[in-house]
Chain A
Amino acid sequence: MTDCVHRDPATPSPFLDGDPEREHLRPASQRRTFLKVAGAGGAALTFSAALGGERAAASTVRPKTWNRAYVLVVDGCRPDEIGSGLMPNLRALRDGGYDFPQGRSLPIMETIPNHVMMMTGVRPDRNGVPANSIYDRALGEERTLELPSDLKATTLMTLARKHGMTAGSVLSKEYLYGIFGRNATYRWEPGPIVPVSGHAPDAFTMNAALSIVEEFDPHLVFVNLGDVDRVGHTDLTGGLSLELLRRTALIATDLQVKRFVDMLKATGRWEKSMVVVLADHSMDWSLPHKVVSLTSPLGADPVVRGKFAIAQNGGANLVYWTGPASQRQAGIDRIVAIAKAQSGVLGVYDRARVPSLRLGANAGDVVVYCRAGWRFSDPHVLANPIPGNHGHPTTEPIPFFLAGGHPAIPRGKSSPLAATTVDVTPTVARFLGLPFPTGKWAWDGRSLLN
């Protein structure tokens, strides 16, 4: 069950020490400054800041823009949910801004890779992060891509800092906080963490977002709101098309977004702001009997048996050939054939032969997608009891729109052009006046602003 990582609460993340008392254990170059500010709810919030990035940000080169960009990720939100009547504030924000009805997540339609694409502007074959979960050949086991060293590309937050700006990250999920490391000038360490789900509730996340904006006023703030996704994963009524729990989460998260917009307007920031609202992926629900388990049929095959590993990503399985290199292509061909024969499988791709996937070697050798209304469950059919999943193509559509009071943001417009998560970086860079890299460093995405 690695669709989204659900951490054992007894095993704290190595990146969530969050304890100023332990900071001295870090190498000097990685040491952080802890800043305590009064939160929106009255409680004190702790942010970490890169050395030199604390309130003395004024010591860096003063940037030439007053613009402020906020990227709000409503994790796992479906585009049709914005107009469902349950999210009136998000709908008003969309209808008053610049909407991209062709907004789409990119493979693998999981949280970590799409957040990384948002902040790097390049696809996984260049940023090194194709999925939430991969099989680490060096470790010989499946693991979550949550290490700062997993991220191989320069982030927008780092770029902003290089040009004298400040960036903030308010990411509700532990692994997002982990992989982005110290990219932001100011970082909120999510908490309190909900056991099992591994995320901080939106109310706390929004408290932090409000505080980081009001206290530090970064040029760029990257916010992940995790409730819609987390509740969606566990909503047992989803497979029956009821989505009862999910609907309550939509209402609650919509109110949190309203708090953010209200703050921008109340503090005079709205007129210089662009608010990018999108999801990292969508959500699909399945009933317990609609599961695909590849371990058993692959294990039963004499060519493949004992020579494969699976990294499960909800609606997508990444299969790795672990046998002798001399048998690799034959083994991959066999894996493809076996996977195609399973009920509920939508598509099977020999990754190296489908370069358009842009996933890179970390994604293994074979990418397998399930159909809508199905999920993967490995190593056995009971291993993934989560009804809500993503990662497969039906979860590609996402809400994606630009809002804000800055005159550069079109009002009440809709564009037929495709918009993907990889477009966030160039769009924000254009808005903030950051330079676009060229040549082999050029972004894969494009600015959605003219």
Chain B
Amino acid sequence: MGVTQDSAADAARPDASDASDPSSEDRLRLPAVQRRTVLTGTAVAGAAVLAADPFATDDAGAAAASPYFLHGVASGDPLPDRVVLWTRVTPQRDATPGSGRGGNVTVEWQVSTDTRFKHIAARGTYRTGAAADHTVKIDATGLKPGTSYVYRFLFYGFPSPVGRTRTAPAPTAAPARLRFGVVSCANLQAGYFHAYRHLAQRNDLDAIVHLGDYLYEYAPGEYGLGQDNVDVRRHVPAREMVTLADYRQRHAQYKQDPDLQWLHSKYPFIVTWDDHESTNDAWRDGAENHQSATEGDWASRRARALRAYDEWMPVRMNSTAALGDGTRLFRSLRFGRLAELSMLDLRTYRDEQVTYPVVDARVSDPNRTITGRAQMDWLKAAVASTQVQWKLVGNPVMIAPVTFLQLPTALLDPVNDVTHLLPRDGSPYNVDQWDGYTDDRRELFSHIRDRGIRDTVFVTGDIHSGWAADLPYDVATYPLGRSAGVEFVASSVTSNNLKDILGAPPRTASLAVETAIKVANRHVRYLDFDSHGYSVLDVTSARVQMDWYVTGPREQRLAGSTHAASFQTLAGTNTISRAAGPVGGN
């Protein structure tokens, strides 16, 4: 078991300003707009140097951060010739996120192959303002495939932190390896984001795959740490996010988390959303946590959530980095001939979840959908591609069929509290997952079987627990018969899991639940209901391996990380086996 601890250098990084600490902004001596001469001395020194060591040289990151760029830098959606670059500029003190204050300004951006920015590969300017909440989001084009770059933004000559990114391999390339960090479910109120920090400490990743619940909508006191909902940190604004300003401020708060900032600056993100980017258990025309009487109509609220997401995330929507030109989030990113990653959006087009799955045959109604027709057709085409070997699917909610029939009655409620798996009548299926839309799953699995498609790997988040499962065509007879592919589920960064709800020590009460589930579901090869952390997905032609890492106490500012388990799927098998040990780490 490999163990890494926060290094002294890590602990000493100038990240002490807590995003939720109201005094942190006061420490900054933000200059008035255009008063460049003020930006020296304490102002610069007081800002966090976030992009530490992007190319493992002393030069990188040494360009002091400017208080014009309080929310860090980020990149995302790497393609062979381009990558999305993101930041937010704070042109004047009162131009805070969601405020609507501050005029239009121009920000310069640069992409370079060296940390001194002597060899500029791409550059340009971007005009932003209050209409875009002063976010800056561009598609840096004309880059070379499979190449590492550094990038930065400049406002009146003052640089942002330096970020590092990497383009995808050329479409015809056959890379020997791809390696992704995998995360989901990061609730700021429930603790510190150790998973992000430990991933940022690694130097062997190509990108970070974020499977949703990047932020949470709840007000302070509503969804904190453990049984008592303790707020380790309090959400800003101090209310459930509903208005556009709310969504913008909440995004801004998360973007000021030092661990998340560090990870964003170090690797490109490939993201999708789940429900909490808008609100809990969202579906096409509503959500469990949306009350139209007091919060307005759902379509407007979702549009506001989408707009803030578009502004604040380094992601292409409708295939572009431009703001407001569409909301299509499902998309594919190809990594040469080795893999293609198809990111799903399973909230925008789905029908409403059924309430009583045991008596409601609608879970299998062919007219109900979790993907929507267009996304299903797109996904079927993506997994049928013969241009790439591994068909990776970024999947916000579990697709493996899971029955909880043999779960002890006394544990039904806690399991449900953690994972929203079960209605209180003890129904044995999670209707918020693909289990609640079985005809879509049937259609997809039949497509895979009919076409002889191999090497499909679903990489999933959402349910605050670690899983590895085969995807049998016939659950009843499995392991007789064959599997459509495999699913690896990453645990939550901080969001509560079973032991948190039970108030039990790790690996005690949950073991009975895990055993019962694995007995009733022979295709489930690994299950950890207790741990928080992150995963590393390693892709070679011979196999895809997932390593699960467990992070320490969420309420502590710094905590270590421990390797917990490694499972793999060998090429052509569509099944899971145990792997020898974790990959890389440096």
Contacts and interface: CB of A to CB of B under 8 A. Distances in A.
B451 A101 contact: no
Interface in B516-565: 540-542
B542 A371 contact: no
A416 interface: yes
A371 B451 CA distance: 8
Given A101-B571, A394-B449, A395-B452, A80 B174 contact: no
Interface string A145-177: 000000000000000000000000000000000
Contacts of A392: 450
A393 to B, nearest CB: 5
Given A101-B454, A241-B480, A416-B338, A80 B574 contact: yes
A449 interface: no
Contact of B389 (A102, A371, A394, A395): A102
A135 B446 CA distance: 31
A101 B544 CA distance: 13
B406 interface: no
A99 B455 CA distance: 14
A415 B572 contact: no
A102 B386 contact: yes
A414 B452 contact: no
Interface string A361-404: 00000000001110000000000000000001111110100000
Contacts of B451: 393-394, 396
Given A80-B482, A241-B474, A415-B174, A397 B452 contact: yes
Nearest to B571: A101
Contacts of B121: none
16 contacts: A79-B572, A80-B482, A80-B574, A101-B389, A101-B572, A102-B455, A241-B474, A241-B482, A346-B450, A371-B446, A372-B452, A394-B450, A396-B452, A397-B572, A414-B540, A416-B338
Interface string A223-246: 000000000000000001110000
Closest 4 CB pairs of A and B: A101-B571, A416-B389, A414-B541, A241-B481
A416 B454 contact: no
Interface string A100-132: 011010000000000000000000000000000
Contacts, number: 78
A374 to B, nearest CB: 9
Contact of A415 (B482, B541, B573): B541
B586 interface: no
Nearest to B483: A80
Interface residues of B, number: 30
A371 B452 CA distance: 10
A354 interface: no
Contact of A394 (B174, B452, B455, B573): B452
Contact of B541 (A79, A80, A101, A371): A101
A417 B452 contact: no
A416 B449 contact: no
Given A104-B452, A397-B452, A413-B541, 16 more contacts: A83-B573, A101-B454, A101-B541, A102-B455, A241-B480, A241-B482, A282-B452, A346-B450, A392-B450, A393-B450, A394-B450, A395-B452, A414-B540, A416-B337, A416-B338, A417-B389
A128 B148 CA distance: 49
Contacts of B481: 241
Given A101-B455, A101-B571, A282-B452, A416 B541 contact: yes
A193 B389 CA distance: 40
Contacts of B540: 414
A184 to B, nearest CB: 31
A99 B386 contact: no
Interface residues of A, number: 29
B206 to A, nearest CB: 15
Interface of B: 174, 336-339, 386-390, 446, 449-452, 454-455, 474, 477, 480-482, 540-542, 570-574
Contacts of A418: 386-387
A361 B390 CA distance: 35
B450 A99 contact: no
A334 to B, nearest CB: 25
B573 A372 contact: no
Most chain A CB within 10 A, of B339, B449, B541, is at B541
Contacts of A399: 572
A287 to B, nearest CB: 13
Nearest to A243: B480
B196 to A, nearest CB: 30
Nearest to B474: A241
B317 to A, nearest CB: 29
Contacts of A393: 450-452
Most chain B CB within 10 A, of A102, A393, A397, is at A102
Contacts of A394: 449-452
A397 B454 CA distance: 8
A418 B336 CA distance: 12
Nearest to B575: A80
Given A346-B450, A394-B451, A414-B542, A241 B572 contact: no
Contacts of B542: 99, 101, 414
Contacts of B541: 99, 101, 413-416
A104 B390 CA distance: 15
Interface in A37-91: 79-80, 82-83
B478 to A, nearest CB: 9
Given A101-B571, A101-B572, A241-B477, A79 B446 contact: no
